[in-house]
Amino acid sequence: LPRSPALLLWLTGGLAIGALRATNTWDWPTYLVIGGLAVVFATWRENGRFSLATLLQSAARLALLGGLATITFWPFADHYGTAYSSVSLWPGSYTYLGNYLSIYGLFLLFVVTYLAVELRAWARGLTFHGLRRLEPHGWLLVAAPLAFLGLLVVALLRGYWIAPVVLTLLTIAGLLGLQPRLPAPRRVALILLASALGLTLAVEIVVLDGDIGRMNTVFKFYLQVWTLLSVVAGAAAVWAWPALQRRGRPVRRAWQIALGLLLFAALLYPVTATRAKWAIRMDHAAPNTLDGMAFMQTVSYNDRGQTVALAYDYDAIQWMYRHIQGSPVIVEANDGTAYRSIGSRVAIYTGLPSVVGWDWHQRQQRSTVPGWLVSNRANDVNAFYNTTSVPEALAFLARYDVAYVYAGQLEWLYYSPDGMRKFDDMVQAGYLEEVYRNRGTSIYRVLTTGDAAQAAAPAPPTARTD
């Protein structure tokens, strides 16, 4: 390990930011920018003023941080491929101010209070002599407000309803951040605040290409904003509190009422959200438990005009928990692109690998390769269940190294009865062994695929619950 504290600090920073590229890529650019802002601020603070030397030193340090953040996880980046690497202008609807405030209102109360306290202190510190020094730049004092108003009008005409709040707070934070004697912790808080506010405005303007609407773009960056604002709001509350205590009773009482209402609303969310989620449960009589499978014991699923009782799948999956060892490949029904479905239910609840998962996720996660690599597997699964040809079925099992075949109500619903009945023929011929059966589900273990004898999966005990 390096003995130099400075070198160790740089390596730690580069490693921490670089790790985000592998753990949650959405965080990587945001915290790389914030890290870069921290480097620029530290360099300016070290030199005491902005100059050409400060700019060059900042550029060199930014290159060092970016290089370390890239090199530390270069093996990952070099072997990672994604088609989701570009953005475009968002053409859809924009966030309403009421929705924005319902998400960030509690944080913004502390932020606005702190900014108001700082702005008031800054204004009170202005002197006539100080204002006279601005006289040569009088044109700027006129042009800047006009430019701000023009930008605000353009943003509102575009439909960016949060722009008045975001741009106003950004402007105030920027002005306060330029104070020469502002303590470093407060300047850092303003940098984080500007980063958070900038992110909320950015997702109104651009969207990641390939996103579903702008769902991922908004929720991924809003989570980052939530983290940043929580840090800033905590510090802002501590810094603003002494000034609030010195204000008159009406002001303090109004602020306390606002805080109480926002806290109540924030604490109310888990209750109202739980009730809203409860209202759309598949079965209100399902057990109240942390067991994510418990609902299957009482719920019936409607698909293609028929009812599928999930209790049979529940019993079969519980049996698989107890008796199937290792990670053998399974095959189950593929229900295409349906988002609200029970497709891949066996793979989901057992963790066992299946021939193909949910179509859209598989395409997203393999976005740099042709889509037919996924669709071919889905087509092969459908053909396997539908075919009445035993040799074709055996070829499929061999191609994908399948160890267990799942035949539940969903499979019988999706595929031809003749194709499903071939499994009994394959049992009689010695290719499969029925290791589990209940009234709605059968599970078959692959014994051999014919020409090339497949090493059979470890034989679990046979179970029948007719």
C-alpha to C-alpha distance for 372 and 383, rounded to whole angstroms: 15
The 10 Å Cβ neighbour count of residue 62 is 17
pLDDT tens for 300-359 read 888 888 888 999 999 999 999 999 999 999 999 987 666 667 888 999 999 999 999 887
Pick from 398, 397, 313: nearest CA to 348: 313
At residue 78 the predicted structure's pLDDT band, cuts being 50, 70 and 90, is confident
Question: Which residue has 């007719």 as its token pair?
Answer: 466
Q: What residues have CB less than 8 Å from 85, skipping those under 6 apart?
A: none
Determine the average pLDDT of the residues in 18-31: 90
C-alpha to C-alpha distance for 166 and 197, rounded to whole angstroms: 6
C-alpha to C-alpha distance for 106 and 96, rounded to whole angstroms: 17
Pick from 371, 25, 82: nearest CA to 217: 25
Model pLDDT, residue 211: 83
Q: Are 30 and 85 in contact (CB under 8 A)?
A: no
The 10 Å Cβ neighbour count of residue 247 is 13
C-alpha to C-alpha distance for 191 and 185, rounded to whole angstroms: 10
Pairing of strands 463-465, 432-438: parallel
Q: Which residues pair with 206 in a beta bridge?
A: 89
Question: Which residue has 């299957």 as its token pair?
Answer: 296
Pick from 414, 453, 459, 455: nearest CA to 434: 459
Q: Give domain limits for the chain.
A: 1-81, 86-246, 294-465
C-alpha to C-alpha distance for 462 and 444, rounded to whole angstroms: 10
* Residue 158, amino acid: R
pTM: 0.78
Tokens standing for residue 255: 């602020």
- 141: helix, strand or coil: helix
Rounded to the nearest integer, the mean pLDDT of the chain is: 88
Determine the average pLDDT of the residues in 288-292: 86
Is the pLDDT assigned to residue 128 strictly greater than 80?
no
Model pLDDT, residue 195: 95
Question: For residue 301, what is the enclosing H or E element?
Answer: strand 300-303
Determine the average pLDDT of the residues in 287-293: 85
- Of the listed ranges 130-134, 178-182, 415-419, the least confidently predicted one is 130-134
Tokens standing for residue 327: 């990670």
Is the pLDDT assigned to residue 207 strictly greater than 80?
yes
Q: Is the dihedral of CA 20, 21, 22, 27 positive or negative?
A: positive
The 10 Å Cβ neighbour count of residue 405 is 23
Question: Which residue has 């741009």 as its token pair?
Answer: 167
Q: What residues have CB less than 8 Å from 400, skipping those under 6 apart?
A: 329, 331, 355, 377, 380
- 425: helix, strand or coil: helix
Q: What residues have CB less than 8 Å from 236, skipping those under 6 apart?
A: 110, 111, 113, 114, 115, 189
Is the pLDDT assigned to residue 455 strictly greater than 50?
no
Question: For residue 378, what is the enclosing H or E element?
Answer: helix 372-386
| 462 vs 407, residue with greater confidence | 407
C-alpha to C-alpha distance for 72 and 10, rounded to whole angstroms: 12
The helix/strand count (H/E) of the chain reads as: 18, 9
Pick from 442, 445, 453, 394: nearest CA to 420: 442
Pick from 466, 446, 450, 449: nearest CA to 458: 446
Is the pLDDT assigned to residue 385 strictly greater than 60?
yes
C-alpha to C-alpha distance for 2 and 16, rounded to whole angstroms: 17
